[in-house]
Chains A and B, each alone.
Chain A
């Protein structure tokens, strides 16, 4: 699966919708166990600056 340049997220705190670059989310190493389909990552809402978590497909990390 090709990793998109950005993903669309909606903040669960303030409802703000934004396009989050994927590069910073997959930049850190992740231990992906066999069978894992997703990897949890944190993103900061650019509006309220609070954290939300998002489950990214494990395939996005194959490029790193």
Chain B
């Protein structure tokens, strides 16, 4: 299954999430938009850790996974944040 969601973060940037998933897990996650993340390649890592995430994973678990990447890469997010991304990913699965 495929789903997409677009959301403008208040006081932030536009985020567009695209997900491919089956009944059990996420197969592919794409996080796009006009935000800024330094260093830029952090995004590929954030998308990678979402692969095979159980679809029933809650917002907090998604946020924790993304936060771990941000911490490891010492990344700075501008116009976007991991809580908003986690909420959107969760919402995309259940919309």
A, B bound: no
Residues of B within 8 A of A (CB): none
